[in-house]
Structures are given as structure tokens and as C-alpha cells.
Amino acid sequence: MSEMKKIKNLKEFSTSADRFEGANLLCPGCAHSIIVREVLNATNDDLILSASTGCLEVCTAVYPYTSWDASWIHIGFENGSTAVAGAESMYKALKNKGRLKQPERNPKFVSFAGDGASYDIGFQWISGCMERGHNIMHVVLDNEVYANTGGQRSSSTPIGSSATTSPAGRVSYGEKKNKKDMVSIMAAHGIPYSAQVAPNKWKDMVKKIQHGFSVDGPVFINAVSPCTTEWKFDPKDTMYITDLSTDSLVFPLYEIIDGHELNITYRPKNVVPVEEYLAAQGRFKHLFKDEYKYLIKEWQERVDSNWAYLQRREESRV
Amino acid sequence: MAFDKMELKDIEVWDGNFAAAQAMRQCQIDVVAAYPITPSTPIVEGYAKFLADGYVEGEFVMVESEHAAMSGCIGAAAAGGRVATATSSQGFALMVETLYQASGMRLPIVLNVVNRALAAPLNVNGDHSDMYLGRDSGWIQFDAYCPQDAYDLNFIAFKVSEDHDVRLPCMVHQDGFITSHTAQGVHTLSDDVAYSFVGDFKPMNDMLDFEHPVTHGVQTEEDWHFEHKARQHNDLMTKVMPKIQTAFDDFEKLSGRKYNIVETYDMDDADVCVVCMGTSVETAREVATEMRKEGIKAGVVGIRVIRPFPFFEIAKALKNVKAIAALDRSSPNGTAGMLFNEIAGSLYNTEKRALLSGYVYGLGGRDLTKAHLVALFKELQANVDAGKVTTQLQQFIGVRGPKLAYL
């Protein structure tokens, strides 16, 4: 049986034994490390982990050091999900053949990847893993940009964001395309569990990760990961920005069970205007020029429309 | 064990694909992650059928691309167990990124490569373009000339690849269609004998040992990358050939079938010889025998181990010959052929350097006929008689239009 942690409060949670060490090279204020710790701290079971090429990978396994006190693998940019799926297949094979060294253990298989490695270059690999029903969890550290290589746009980069390959300029407001809806796409694979999480709502996060570990089959988690470097905010403000992301409903927190049953898991008491979320980040600074203010209005309408859609989905139970 | 053994006749009529699938069955692989592609598809189909019929136990993961196939194999191998797959051509090309990752991470994996041309233009038939594409990838590469070789070399590949002093992935190559789809008599090993040769898989740095967590696939820059690559090269240059020789010797004791790092045929007194790979080796041997009746002392050298390249073994095999033809079944696209260059490198600092000329043949499955080889041996004899290469150094054989020759 799985061993899930019973966590009473944040102090206890944040000081529980780490299998992801603080000794890493991630930027001060990076949400990646917070999310990873929250995911790993949700279970006491053994972990087999992967990271696709990206910030998390290059900052945590620089030879001859490692930040991981659990077995971990990195192959390439696109295939972290399949690496863990391969390891999970080997686990099943050796279990059936009676060759596991510690047969009583109940390992969890988790792949971490950025939005570039998930929404773009690794999309096919993740889809394959979801379709084949591996007992793995894929966690996207979604900072809406190729942060590791200096801030190029991905298909997760939202409209109006200035990225280095879709920069705001004299005649451009930056990224022109809307963000890809990965949670829905993954849910459409009919997987048992997919969810959006945020590191500020740690109880919601832990509940979802534990639910994900408890189901039989693939799990997809999209975690908002505010990037101090590319979103351009002060490193001390990571949680403030995350609060704005969830409370403005730009990143609504919800889950989809068995590909169709949608539950909203967090309803902000006071919904923050999207404008506040955008205004707190340098990547949207140019939107506050007179000629682009219509985009802020469109942003709000889009967020409202998506929130209404999620509520309709939740009510209709389909 | 929850699988049935299969009773085999001493000699079965198998094509190269089925021979490879049977060898994989007998090695009892833990994870096969695969994607179908002509002409290697029947290997994974055969393995799937063995699984469906209860003759193997393990996980068979049909992934969504060859890149994912090798990615899954890497994850499975790092987890700690016996892993294999098969591919060809475009699929091999798609795998290339992960081939380097597999070898750089020192993971034992056996990849059956059924050689096929690379597009464009698209072509499903056999040449060595994919095999050549893999030659800098850090894998060990064996070349089978016939279904029997494809069967036997799989056992040897597992044995060498999984050796803890080696820990490098191995390819077993066979020619698309000519070997892979042509049935011949194959001398078999019983399931027990075959398995006892490869032995139980012995894990090392396995991710599934929860008491000893490991980190696979680290980041290194100018501080450590060179040392890792140098160590891998060092092991390929110094450790692998002795292990292969031992495996060949052990396999001979077991089966009576003798494999050599360089396969020589009538080379003791040969004046002229061709050096080639794949099914061409058998054709060349037949023609060489006929040439001897015409008074040309012909021999044949087949490359059995392509990587690591048998630098000294090839120099030894060619030390007394007077004229050599290097036959490359892959377009060099702007230089001399790979075999031409490797042989030139092997011989350059030796005392007696034979005349060396290169031939490009058989692209996209074009036949290499006996007539081609007869003409070729005669050209080599003319080189011997003239004391110099009488043709250009690189010639194309069997291509339409005016003769193509370069260098």
C-alpha cells in the first residue's frame, strides 16, 4: 500500500525530510524547487524521477554533484516522460519475474518537465505515455517560457507576453498566440487524473498529488511556476505573484477525473482583476501603453470566459 | 518462471528477422520498447507473438516513435534489466539523439538494425547508410552476413554489452531484405543452452535499487565532459575487443561456430582482395573462389566488428596482399568511403602498403552481381600488374549512365 504523508501544517510540511536538496543552482525565488518539494513531500514511498532538459535539470545534477536523494534520470529535452515510463515498465517486468531487490516497496514514478518540454518538444512523448496507461505522473513546471535558454516563447506563452523570440517592440505587443490548453488535451486521453496546481495552495497541491499517486494509470499535473527572471519580478515576490495568478483566475485550480469529471478546487474569496496580475510582471509592462490597453480588457474577458466554462463543466458533470 | 520453453529443431528455416526475434526470446528480455519500420518490423512482431503465446515474460511497450522506443529502452536499462529493440533506416535516424545518450550513460541495450537506405528519395531496401550513420555514436556494432549470424551475434551482443567492464550498448546489423526476409537454414541452440550463454542479467547502478539512489544523465560542461567522452572512447579502444574475442571463443566452444573480429577468406596467399560487409561478403567469397580458377589469387575480408574498428586486425589481415578494394554501400557524399578511409588509416604507417581503391555500390538495394565482382577483381589484378592504381580511387558500380569515378 502507498504511504501518503499526513500533513498538519506548513511548518511541518516544509521541514519534513527532503529528497530534493536545497543545494541546487536554481535562481533565488524560483518556484520550481518549491513545487518539486511539495510533490515529493506528498509521499513517503520510494521515488523514481526524471527531469527533461531545462532549468530544473541543469540546476540539480551538475557533475559531480546531485540534488536528488532518489533515483533520477535525464535523457533529453523531449523524452523525460518516456524515460520514467521505461523505468516503470522495467519495474513491472522485474516485479512479475520476482527479481526486485526490495519487492515490498511501492515506488512512485514522476517526470518533471517545463512547459517547453511538455507543450512543445515533448508533446508526442507525453501523449504516448498517457495513451499507453503507464503508472506515471507527469508534472509540468509551467513558467510559460523557455527560461533555461533565456526566455524564448513556447506554446504556453500567453498573449501579450514579451519573450525573446516574440519580443514587444515599436510595432509589436509581443506574443500573438494564446496559451495551449494542455490540461484539457491530456484529460482527453481519458487518463484517470489531470489537474492544475499552484505552489501557494500547498494543501490543494498535496491533495491532488496524493490523489494522483493513488490512482492506477497516468496522471498529468500542470503547475504554475512563476519565473522571477523571465516574468520579471523581485525574487522575494514569488508567492505574491503566485497568489495573483490563482486569485485572478488566470491559473484556476481544478482537476479532471477520468477525462471528464471536472471539479474546481479553489474559489478565491476576492477575485483579483487580471490587470493587477499583469501589472506585477515586467513581461507585460508594454501592455499598459495606451495603444495596447485593449489587450488587458481582452485578457480579463478571456479569463472570465474560461472561468465560466470551467463552472459550467463542473455543474454539468460531463 | 511463468513462460514456456520452445522446442526447436537443430536446423530451422528462418529469415534474419525471425532469427533475431528467436534470439531475443531465448535471452528473456525484461523490456522491449519498439516501433515498427520496414524491414525490421517482423523482429518486433515476432517478439510480440512470442509474448502473446506465452514464450516470453516481460514488458513489451509499443511506443509512438523510434525516438520514444530508444528513450523507453534507456529508462528501462537505467532501471536495471535486460533491454532490446529493433529498427531500420529513418527510424534509426530518428533515434540518433538517443543513441548517443544511451552510450554516454553507459547502458547495456541491444539494438537489431536491419540496414536500409536513408531518404530522400524514400527507399525501403537495403544499403548501409543507417549503419554508417551510427558509427560515431559510441555503440559497439556487429555485422551479420546471413540469418545464422543475425541469430548468433545477438547472444554475443548481450554478453558483451552487459559485461560490467563494458556497459556499452550494442547494435547487431543485418542487410535489409537480403538477410532479413530471406529464409535459410539456421543452426539453433536450445533455450537452456542459449540462456546459459548470456546468463542472468546483473544490474549495476540500477534505479530500482531503492537503498542506493542513483543520478543518471548529468550535466557536464568544459570541466568534465571531455573526461567522460575520453573514458568511453578509452573503454571502446582498450576493453571491448578482448571481451568480444572472449565471447567469440566461448560461443565457439558452445556452438562450434567460429566468429572473428575480421573474417578472412582465402587470404593466406592472396594478391588481391575486397573488403566489404553484409551479404556482399558471401557473394565476394564465391566470386573469389571462381577467380582463383582463372589464375587471379583473390581473397575476401569481411568486417565483423565495425565499432570499435579493428584497426590492427585489418592491417594484419591485409599485410601481404598487393591490391585492395574497399567496398562501401553508403554514399560518402563528398569524400572517400568509410571503409576506404578506415583501411587507409590502418595501413598508412605499416611497412608494406598495398594499392587501395574504393568502390561505392548497392545503394537503395541495387544488387551487387557476380559480374560486378569479376570485373572488380580483374581491375585489382591490373593494378597489381601495373604496380599502381590504374583507375581513379573511387568508382561507382552498377549505377546507370556514364561511369562515375572520382579522386
**Ramachandran area for residue A163 (φ above 0: left; ψ -120 to 50: alpha; else beta):** beta
Q: Which of A40, A89, A92, A95 to mutate to test the interface with B (most CBs of B within 10 A)?
A: A89
What is the CATH number for A177? Answer: 3.40.50.970
pLDDT digits (tens, 9 = 90+) for B333-369: 999 999 999 999 999 999 989 999 999 999 999 999 9
Position A114 in a domain: yes
- Give how far B233 is from chain A: nearest CA, Å: 19
Q: Please give the average per-residue pLDDT across B265-293, as a whole number.
A: 98
User: Please, what are the domains in chain B?
Assistant: 11-200+221-255 (3.40.50.970), 262-406 (3.40.50.920)
Residue of B nearest to A73 (CA): B216
Could you say which of B1, B31, B71 has the minimum Cβ distance to residue A93? B31
Cβ atoms of A295 and A173 closer than 8 Å: yes
In a domain, A56, yes or no: yes
At residue A3, the pLDDT reads: 65
Q: Number of structural domains, chain A?
A: 1
Minimal C-alpha gap between A45 and chain B (Å):
10
| A68: nearest CB among B33, B215, B220 | B215
Q: Is residue A310 part of a domain?
A: yes
Would you call A85 and B72 a contact, using CB atoms and an 8 Å cutoff? yes
A-chain residues within 8 Å CB-CB of B57? Answer: 93, 96-97
3-state helix/strand/coil string of chain B: CCCCCCCCCCEEEECHHHHHHHHHHHHCCCEEEECCCCCCHHHHHHHHHHHHCCCCCCEEEECCCHHHHHHHHHHHHHHCCCEEEEECHHHHHHHHHHHHHHHHCCCCCEEEEEECCCCCCCCCCCCCHHHHHCCCCCCEEEECCCHHHHHHHHHHHHHHHCCCCCCCCEEEEEECCCCCCCCEEEECCCHHHHHHHHCCCCCCCCCCCCCCCCEECCECCCCCHHHHHHHHHHHHHHCHHHHHHHHHHHHHHHHCCCCCCEEEECCCCCCEEEEECCCHHHHHHHHHHHHHHCCCCEEEEEECEEECCCHHHHHHHCCCCCEEEEEECCCCCCCCCHHHHHHHHHHCCCCCCCEEEEEECCHHHCCCCHHHHHHHHHHHHHHHHHCCCCCCCEEECCCCCCCCEEC
Per-residue confidence (pLDDT) for residue A12, from 0 to 100: 77
Residue A221's pLDDT is 98
Instruction: Give a yes or no: residue A206 inside a domain.
Output: yes
Q: Which of B58, B215, B217 comes nearest A75 by C-beta?
A: B217
Q: Between chains, do A62 and B64 touch, taking CB under 8 Å as contact?
A: no
- pLDDT higher than 90, residue B3: no
Residue A78 domain boundaries? 10-316
Contacts of A83 in chain B (CB under 8 A): 71-72, 74-75, 78
Is the residue at A83 inside a domain?
yes
Residues B207, A169: Cα–Cα separation, whole Å? 48
Per-residue pLDDT tens for B27-59? 999 999 999 999 999 999 999 999 999 999 999
pLDDT tens digits in sequence order for chain A, 318 residues long: 456 677 778 887 776 668 998 899 999 999 999 999 999 999 999 999 999 999 999 999 999 999 999 999 999 999 999 999 999 999 999 999 999 999 999 999 999 999 999 999 999 999 999 999 999 999 999 999 999 999 999 999 999 999 999 999 999 999 999 999 999 999 999 999 999 999 999 999 999 999 999 999 999 999 999 999 999 999 999 999 999 999 999 999 999 999 999 999 999 999 999 999 999 999 999 999 999 999 999 999 999 999 999 999 999 987
User: Are the beta carbons of B78 and A73 separated by less than 8 Å?
Assistant: yes
Within 8 A of A96 by CB-CB distance, chain B residues are: 2, 57-58
Whole-number pLDDT of residue A1? 46
CA distance B167 to chain A (A): 17
Mean pLDDT of B103-127: 98
Listed residue (B362, B294, B379) closest to B328, CA to CA: B362
The answer to whether residue A42 sits within a structural domain is yes
In a domain, A208, yes or no: yes
Q: State yes or no: pLDDT of B400 exceeds 90.
A: yes
**Selected residues 136-165 of chain B with any CB under 8 Å from a CB in chain A:** none
ipTM of the predicted structure?
A: 0.96
- Mean pLDDT for B119-134 is 97
